[in-house]
Amino acid sequence: MNKNEIRQFRAALREMVRELGMLSRRTSGTELSPLQSHILIELNSQPCGATELATKLCVDKASMSRTLRSLMEAGYLLRDHDEQDGRALTFRLSESGNQKLVCLEENADRFTEEALASSSSEEIQQFFQTIETFSGSLRNARRQREAELTFRPIEARDNAAIAEIIRTSFRENKIDHLEGVSLHDPELERLSEIYKQPGSGYWVAEANGRIVGGAGLAPLGGEKGTCEMQKLYFSSEIKGMGMGRRMIAFIIAQATAMGYQSCYLETLDELKDAVRLYEAFGFRHLSERLGNTGHDGCGICMLKTL
């Protein structure tokens, strides 16, 4: 997305926040602020400490402590000491808090029902899927920022680390016995040299100062204007943070900037999660492989028009 598109996207989100009433203390049909409302909703399922609540609701602990204090003063919360750790405190709803939550939920249900009343069932399902997907993207972006995620071109000092990540990925997925796959590429230990060729590149991902994965691209032999996405692997310790998706989008952007018209890849039937990711990014399945990749063990071939 270019800057203008990003600004338009942000403007649409701001408008949604305003229409939801999140800037108003009376959006819940009570005097509660949005943060106070969210705290009551979270505590409805189980008691929590201030730190846990701050983490769940993505606010700083100082703001959480002030808001918890205000809810206790209003009589909506009760505070308990942990029997095993006298310094640990947990919060739970009082009877008054439960009644306030019922009022809040009923008001929110009515407002949401009214907002959806003019939409078809197909549109409502689409809204839900889009909101759920984007919420996950926001959560991943926050976690990636907290981990100080960066992508940078591979250097010679990175060769051993990325080679080990690739080998470990094959072992963890129980596919290290397969022949004709990138695990056995002779250049695995010197990727920084291999990807210096024109139209090529390999980028490592760093999180918290450590290399956690990488991916590259190179011209696909015999297919003019087509590159191949290669060696996309990440450490399992960062699974669930959306870094694989972020890298796929990054490689597609790099391929486009280099002037390629299409991007090809080969992968294994065993890597079903990866295949679903490629499909989500618009890669379509091919009935036969393109070019000469040397990876005869890969049973899935895919192509994306850029």
CATH for 180: 3.40.630.30
Q: Is residue 133 part of a domain?
A: no
Distance CA 18, CA 10 (A): 12
Would you say residue 284 lies in a domain? yes
Same domain, residue pair 155 and 103: no
95 and 165 both lie in a single domain: no
73, 96, 118 - which closes a domain: 118
Tally of domains in the chain? 2
pLDDT score for 85: 59
Residues 165 and 294 in one domain: yes
Q: Give the whole-angstrom CA distance, residue 44 versus residue 54.
A: 16
Residues of the chain with pLDDT under 70: 25-28, 82-87, 175-185, 294-297
In-domain check, residue 59: yes
Same domain, 265 and 169: yes
Q: Are 85 and 212 within one domain?
A: no
The predicted pLDDT at position 303 comes to 96
For 283, other C-beta atoms within 10 Å of its C-beta total 23
The four Cα atoms 287, 293, 299, 300 give a dihedral, to 10 degrees, of -60
- Tell me, what's the pLDDT at 179? 57
| Shared-domain flag, residues 154 and 279 | yes
**Where on the phi/psi map is residue 265: left (φ > 0), alpha (ψ -120 to 50), or beta?**
beta
Q: How far is CA 95 from CA 21, 42, 44, 77, 92, in A?
A: 26, 15, 11, 9, 10
- Length, in residues, of the chain: 306
Give CA angle at 221 (219, 224), nearest 5°: 70
87 and 213 both lie in a single domain? no
**In the listed set 63, 98, 118, which residue is the last one of a domain according to the structure?**
118
- Is 100 a member of any domain? yes
Q: Which amino acid is at 98?
A: N
- Per the prediction, the chain carries an average pLDDT of 89
* Same-domain check for residues 217 and 99: no
Do 166 and 297 lie in a common domain?
yes
pLDDT attached to residue 139: 93
Q: Write out pLDDT tens, residues 103-150.
A: 999 998 998 999 999 999 999 999 999 999 999 999 999 999 999 999
pLDDT of res. 305: 96
The reported pLDDT for the residue numbered 256 is: 97
Cα 158 from Cα 164, distance rounded (Å): 10
197 and 61 in one domain?
Answer: no
Determine the Cα angle at 94 with ends 90 and 98, to 5°. Answer: 115
Q: Decide if 187 is inside a domain.
A: yes
pLDDT for the residue numbered 78:
94
104 plus 176 within the same structural domain: no
What CATH number should be reported for the domain holding residue 31?
A: 1.10.10.10
- The whole domain housing 270 covers 150-305
> 77 lies in a domain?
yes
pLDDT at 19: 84
pTM, two decimals, is 0.81
Is there a domain that residue 138 lies in? no
